[in-house]
Chains A and B, each alone.
Chain A
Amino acid sequence: MEQQMIPGLFSGYALDGFYDEMFKADGEVRPEYAFFLSQVAKVQGEDLMARQYAAERALMSMGITFNVYSENEGVERIMPIDIIPRIINGRQWSRLEEGLIQRVTALNLFIDDLYHEQKILKDGIVPRHVIESSKNFLPQCKGLKPPGGIWCHITGSDLIRDETGQFMVLEDNLRCPSGVSYMLENREILKKAFPEILEKMDVQHISDYPTRLLDMLQCLSGKASPTVVVLTPGTYNSAYFEHSYLAQQMGVQLVESSDLIVVDGQVKMRTTSGFETVDVIYRRIDDTFIDPLAFNPQSLIGIPGIFDAYRKGKVALANAPGTGVADDKVVYAYVPRIIKYYLGEEAIIPNVQTYICEEDESRKYVLEHIGELVVKEANEAGGYGMLIGPRASREECQEFRRRVEANPRNYIAQPTISLSRVPTNIDGRAEGRHVDLRPYILYGQKVEVIPGGLTRVAMRKGSLVVNSSQGGGSKDTWVLY
């Protein structure tokens, strides 16, 4: 259906049968977008492009870039920002908030259980071998008691909306979810692009995220004013900008592992005036690279002895080592049952239907219907290691069939969801593009959901892949009161 009534930016805008977050199927604008649309319709296409360019220039000059692993030259790229925001109404948001709090609470109980009594395995809710064969389940963490019993301090679960607009959880990220710096900077950029609109709309603010993050990190230590640091793998990491940004916003040191050393059981950093004790580490390094003594003798980026210091309570780590077991994509399939088991509640936000390839019937179905499904490796991220059946060639499907049969534990499959779309500025004209949403959840004294998140956009026409490493962009996310 075409939006012929609206001039300029939206002339010829087509829904193409997808769930559009701005327009209902009959072309009527949804209430949460009504004011924005009435204002932006007044802006000429050229002017909109000027604002778009200004936003991109700002990203480049602020150095808000990410590094792409596979490209040799020009390693830094900006993640394109689309200046048309994604708007979520207050009622929808409260429901999401409840659902995310429920989910993170349950996942935390689950992780704690796995590293202690393993009741959930004993009760047969989650098969034992699924956990024991997960490469993110770390036996070294058994018996650990992180401060307050909290393992996943920072979570970013990816949400999508299907063709009916229903929000669903696509995956959970409990290791080092990234992207929160883009959430914050996108808002700053939109404040410049649409000050007159933002001023008149009641959008929940997100700018206190660094403060909340710091508060949460500080409460992990028993000290009155603990020394908090952010640990980065270094400037070549794809998320380096974010590590640096968060350290700067919190006013804490950004350290690399060579800056840290364990002296007499205490973690210290090397400063110009000698060693200084570190109390809390927000680590942006994967579990097994933290400490070559405890995990990976080949790791060059770890700090020998830090895991031991952690076990003895001399230093706090966020997230706790071992949390990654909960974002295994096979474990994901069990999350609704996990919620039911620990909280006695139905999951508020449903999962996407998931076929566990290890189960005979499911595997049979997956192998027969691979051309209709999305197949994912259990532990990959960033849009790598996956097959989108309807878009894949016969050879690619065949290759994935072979892989699934060879190692069923490592694969899950889901129906191809036609993700919802939001109008996106393509050369001065709005076109629908598919989006997802990564909200950020902090677990300190209590579980808090930041009212916003990173909306990722598949900028290529028709594409469903929103990952920044594969041509994705982002949008500011406005959560209304």
Chain B
Amino acid sequence: MLSRVANSIYWMNRYMERAENYARFIAVNFNLILDMPPSEKEQWEPLLAVNADQKLFQQLFDSPTRDAVLQFMSFDQRNPNSILCCLQQARENARSVRESITKEMWEHLNGFYLHVRELQSSKSWEMSEWQGFFNEIKMGSQLFYGIIDSTLARVESWHFSQLGRFIERADKTSRFIDIKYFILLPKVAAIGSNLDLLQWSAVLKSASAYNMYRQAFRVLAPENIVHFLVLDRHFPRSIYYCLSQAEQSLLAISGDKKSTGKAARVLGKLRSELEFTDASEIVTAGLHEYMDNFQRRNNEVGEAIYEAYFALKPVEHNNGEKPDQ
């Protein structure tokens, strides 16, 4: 398939996944606010910190109030990662490859974007409306994947979809864990306290991991939660699962060149390291440091994919004559 088309399909999926995860990040806080003891304050800054959005935010707003952060993350056109901007990008990418995706994919994505754009101006934005809104974003994204799943043939375009979606999701799951790092506990000793577990369960719920976690471990324990979100073999949002899905698609794309490609090598290495890592090692290494390092290496995978498949390679013109050997 055309490199440009592959690139657009890949980014269409990354942006959609990004929009969904932004809605999920915010849901962490909504879950917390409703469960938290009255002595605790709402913390909105961590949402900015995990996505490295603090700097931009501070240029635009005075303080990270609930309203400011919600507007910034949802509709702000100046924030390239806001949900609206992500949907706009996803849709622009789709628009440039309409002929290569299914009618259903395009119509959903287009309608979804137009709907969200209209919502921006039509509400007074009480908390219940925000909750409804973020739920709609999540559902809209999941419906999109459902449509891909049931309409797109398992050819290259499908594999580039998968690749974009899972590379992005792996990154975002690592940031879910980071949220827990950035949300402050009153004192260090509070690790393992009720409040600590409350925060962890908010993270689990936002990642739609709560029920599956409970079935796997039953008791809430930070190390097990880390295991579940990072290393679990079967949970579709765990980092390991995301990487192994991405790897399968990458191998399907590269065909017989599988062992030679740099992208496959970088990705395979990262996946296999996780395969033989233990949750306690991650905790010992420091959650934040581990996630930070992972994000950096995951970006390298993205770059290698770009180099291998999307970059326009120049061709030397030789006017039809073969150069001397």
Contact = CB atoms under 8 A, between A and B. Distances in A.
Contact of A62 (B3, B4, B92, B107): B107
A248 to B, nearest CB: 4
A270 B107 contact: no
Interface string B284-325: 000000000000000000000000010011010110100000
Contacts of B253: 272
Interface residues of B, number: 29
Interface stretch (A114-122, A258-266, A370-378, A410-418): A258-266
Interface stretch (A24-32, A43-51, A249-257): A249-257
Interface in B207-236: none
A270 B2 contact: yes
A255 B107 CA distance: 21
Contact of B313 (A63, A245, A248, A270): A270
Nearest to A312: B320
B99 A244 contact: yes
Majority SS at the chain B contact face: helix
A60 B318 contact: no
B4 A258 contact: yes
Contacts of B120: none
B6 A244 contact: no
Nearest to B94: A63
Interface string B84-110: 000000001001111110010011001
Interface residues on A, range: 20 to 34
A400 to B, nearest CB: 39
A253 B98 CA distance: 10
Interface in B52-97: 92, 95-97
Contacts of B98: 63, 244-245, 248, 254
Nearest to A244: B98
Contacts of A62: 103, 106-107, 110
A163 to B, nearest CB: 43
Contacts of A255: 2
A272 B107 contact: no
A271 B315 contact: no
Nearest to A243: B99
A433 B317 CA distance: 56
A258 B92 contact: no
B34 interface: no
Which has the most chain B C-beta neighbours within 10 Å: A63, A245, A271, A305? A63
A245 B103 CA distance: 10
Given A61-B111, A261-B315, 4 more contacts: A62-B107, A248-B100, A248-B103, A259-B4
Interface of B: 1-6, 92, 95-100, 103, 106-107, 110-111, 114, 156, 253, 255, 309, 312-313, 315, 317-318, 320
7 contacts: A61-B111, A61-B114, A230-B99, A235-B95, A255-B2, A263-B315, A272-B156
